[in-house]
Amino acid sequence: MRVALQNNISAIGMETTGGLKMLKNYKPVFDATVKEKLEKAGFSITGNFNIDDFETMEISLALACDTGGEIRQACLSRGLTGIKPTYGAVSRYGLFGGASSLGQIGPIGKNIEDCAALLTVISGPDSKDSTCVIEEPFNFSETVPGGSLPEKTEGLKIGLPENLFDTSIGENNNPFLAAVKVFEEAGAKTEKFDLPLTDYLIPTYNIIASAEASSNFTCFDGLKYGYRSGSAKSLSDVYMLSRSEGFEYEEKKKIMLGSLFLSSECYNVYFKKAMQVRTLIIDAYRSLFERFDMILSPVGDICNIIANLAGLPAAVLPCGIDKNGAATAFQLMGKAFSENKLVNAARIYQSRTDHHMKKTGTENTKPGGEAS
């Protein structure tokens, strides 16, 4: 079976740029741990892709990095299924991204079975990554089709963030409410609640992501690898021009803001405060998961970044078409390392619906069906 890799996952001999002009023509000399695990399990790598171009590519089985919801947004646009794992469940060795404490590699597939199979392979400990704290790979084999696939969600309690749902639209025209009904008919109990700390989620995420990007991008200096300006006349020119020409506007903005947040004058006011708020967010959601088994929410900025800030797992599932004719998906978020519970709930949902079987978002597919 063939799997595509996002182009910020290191693969020997394969141009791996992470979407950065600064890393144009860079070909790693080592493989990421997840690539090694895939090949050892018998998977072949079909190519790599830029997450920004994912919607136009015919890719149905892939690994990508979710730093602020990228896996979930990619699945939303294509009618695919994905899992953003718990931070520390999958090795980050060989992954280069802007925000080290937010990003986690996860699977994208046609259905939850694809994702569970990939996650079984890539999860587990890795001596090369101190952030990978899981002791054993996930094992979803106890509930595979043909085995003891659960048909009911009795005893499952799902929280619904009332401040994020548009309940004014009737169930027949609201894919999210229709998804909720599927779980209720399967035996789950649902309860509405107000999502906490919503005003602080995006500012906290932006400060931390910018600060970490600023720190991580310091190694891209135009000397060791990647882009080097052809206009440089001196060593200082190499540094200045290579970074000026090699980084795009958004990357420059992150570097400049991150440098400001980490400066001695602003560290306590911005970065330290953001880390304190992050702790409040982690504690708030730890408390919520004493009340709920999982939270069902739309896919979007506020909902997405909770899982990244708190290091929680989230599964994204297609659920139909919205009132504007666009593909729609919801996500199930659980407490840390509750992937088995999320996968089982997703299996029950997809056994009762067919949204994951419908082709969506592939009208502009490149000929040949290969990743690029």
**pLDDT tens, 208-219?**
999 999 999 988
Burial level of 221, CB count in 10 A (0-12/13-18/19+)?
middle
**pLDDT tens, 76-98?**
989 999 999 999 999 999 998 78
**pLDDT tens, 182-198?**
999 999 999 999 999 99
Mean pLDDT value of segment 15-21: 90
Q: Is the pLDDT of residue 370 over 80?
A: no
Q: What are the structural domains of the chain?
A: 2-155+298-357 (3.90.1300.10)
Q: Which residue reads 């790979």 in tokens?
A: 137
**pLDDT tens, 335-357?**
999 999 999 999 999 999 999 98
**pLDDT: is 148 or 223 the higher one?**
223
Lowest-pLDDT range of 54-63, 189-198, 287-296? 54-63
The SS3 of residue 141 is helix
pLDDT of residue 369: 36
| % of the chain beyond a pLDDT of 90 | 74
Residues 240, 264: Cα–Cα separation, whole Å: 23
Q: Is the pLDDT of residue 361 over 60?
A: no
* Cβ contact 160:189 at 8 Å: no
pLDDT of residue 246: 92
Task: Provide CB contacts within 8 A for 210, sequence distance 6+.
Answer: 253, 254, 255, 257, 258, 261
